[in-house]
Amino acid sequence: MGKVHVYDHPLIQHKMTIMRKVETGTKQFRELVDEVSSLMAYEITRSLPLTDVEIETPVSVSTQKMIAGKKLGIVPILRAGLGMVDGFLKMMPNVKVGHIGLYRDPETLEPHEYYLKLPTDVTERDFIVVDPMLATGGSAVDAIASLKKHGAKSIKLACLCAAPEGVERVQAEHPDVEIYLAALDEKLNDHGYIVPGLGDAGDRLFGTK
Ligand code: PRP
Ligand code: URA
């Protein structure tokens, strides 16, 4: 079963609390999603392999470490996942970015795919799927399945806020995928919203409500 990592660094908890507040406006919400995403990217990349390189400092020749040419890709689930991309790119400016468009039907809560564009060398990359919200898990499960169908072999999932129901569904359907969270909340309500959650992440990011 895929491991679940909840990053409870004080900076992440503090920023998540402000993000959750109903009075936090679009500008600040967007900035906070960006900042928490960078902090998560820092933690998620902790296990990246390193290689020795010989360099010359102003003082001497020295053997030092650099990241060993690992090919990575980030795949935001549109639309709210877009809010996490820049935060990840600040830490990993050279990664490629694929996009998967999914929206959740408000009645059935079922995800519908409307867009997919991935790097051409899918089979050679390690992917991180990013989406602020993991609620029923339907969107994440479908996005991961789509990536796998196109040949992706190594996938991680990074979300800001999750319900236990969503975590369990991803673990059940994609046991090979590790999940990285900024917060694991209590439950889903009858409308499929995370409680206490932060509301509709897409609307809060893009000011559409
Ligand atoms: C939200 C969110 C996730 C999904 C999570 O997207 O960004 O993609 O819901 O819910 P689930 O785990 O139950 O599938 P939404 O469908 O509202 O679309 P949007 O990003 O375009 O606002
Ligand atoms: N999607 C959101 O944006 N928020 C939730 O709480 C659940 C799904």
30 is catalytic: no
16 DSSP assignment: H
Angle between helices 82-91 and 26-44 (to 10 degrees): 50
209 lies in a domain? no
203 is catalytic: yes
120 is catalytic: no
23 lies in a domain? yes
174 lies in a domain? yes
User: Which residue's CA is the closest to the ligand 1 atom numbered 22?
Assistant: 202
Q: What is the β-pairing status of strands 194-195 and 187-188?
A: antiparallel
- Give residue 166 CA to ligand 2 midpoint distance, Å: 11
Q: What is the pLDDT of residues 17-51, one digit of tens each?
A: 999 999 999 999 999 999 999 999 999 999 899 99
- Say which CATH number the domain at 112 has: 3.40.50.2020
Name the active-site residue from 17, 86, 105, 108: 108
Query: b/e map of 156-168 (b: 16 or more CB within 10 Å)?
Result: bbbbbbbbbebbe
pTM of the predicted model, to two decimals? 0.96
77: β partners: 100
176 is catalytic: no
Is residue 163 within 8 A of residue 187, CB to CB? The reply is yes
115 lies in a domain? yes
User: What integer pLDDT is reported at residue 209 of this predicted model?
Assistant: 77
Which ligand has the minimum distance to the alpha carbon of residue 136? 1
If you average pLDDT over every residue of the chain, what do you get? 96
78 lies in a domain? yes
163 lies in a domain? yes
Number of domains in the chain: 1
User: What integer pLDDT is reported at residue 106 of this predicted model?
Assistant: 85
Q: Work out the widest C-alpha separation in the chain, in whole angstroms.
A: 66
123 lies in a domain? yes
The per-residue DSSP string of 68-126 comes to ----EEEEEEETTTHHHHHHHHHH-TT-EE-EEEEEE-TTT--EEEEEEE--TTGGG-E
Q: Which structural domain, as residue segments, surrounds residue 98?
A: 2-204
- Give residue 102 CA to ligand 1 midpoint distance, Å: 7
Q: What is the β-pairing status of strands 61-67 and 50-56?
A: antiparallel
pLDDT, average across residues 100-122: 92
Is residue 180 within 8 A of residue 2, CB to CB? The reply is no
